[in-house]
């Protein structure tokens, strides 16, 4: 039976392999197709039903990450834990306050810089997790 630390590291690598490429693709999409992402965000924000479903789709995997990987080490694994907690908080916020999501989201997409910065941060996080998940 593997040691507890070894189990945690296996979980970390698995989650990095799962989340890293997803964030890479999303970040690239946000940077390459800014107008398309802005239009998609406007459509999303116009539907409280979609906001609610997105809340569920963030809350459940966020809880799964937090329950299996609540690691606050001073290394790359904390990124996974932080993303899990952000998914839990963001999912709950979408479910509880869809009107606020619409208000805040509309303000964010009004500024083109927000999408560019968001895409760059997403791309960088995806690159870091992909590196630790596949290369290292």
- Tokens 């979408």 found at: 94
Is residue 44's pLDDT more than 90? yes
Q: Angle of helix 4-32 relative to helix 48-68, nearest 10 degrees? A: 150
Residue boundaries of the structural domains of the chain: 17-135
Residue 57, both tokens? 């789709």
Residue 56, both tokens? 């569920």
Q: What is the pLDDT of residues 10-22, one digit of tens each?
A: 999 999 999 999 9
Q: Are 105 and 37 in contact (CB under 8 A)?
A: no
Q: What pTM did the predictor assign?
A: 0.90
């Amino acid at each position: 039976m593997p040691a507890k630390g070894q189990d945690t590291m296996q979980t970390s690598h698995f989650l990095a392999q799962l989340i890293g490429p997803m964030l890479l693709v999303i970040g690239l999409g946000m940077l390459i197709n800014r107008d398309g992402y802005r239009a998609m965000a406007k459509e999303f924000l116009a539907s409280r039903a979609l906001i609610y479903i997105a809340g569920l789709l963030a809350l459940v995997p966020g809880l799964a990450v937090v329950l299996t990987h609540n690691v606050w080490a001073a290394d790359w694994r904390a990124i996974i834990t932080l993303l899990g907690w952000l998914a839990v908080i963001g999912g709950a916020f979408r479910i509880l306050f869809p009107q606020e999501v619409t208000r805040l989201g509309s303000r964010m997409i009004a500024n083109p810089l927000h999408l560019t910065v968001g895409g760059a941060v997403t791309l960088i996080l995806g690159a870091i997790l992909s590196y630790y998940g596949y290369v290292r």
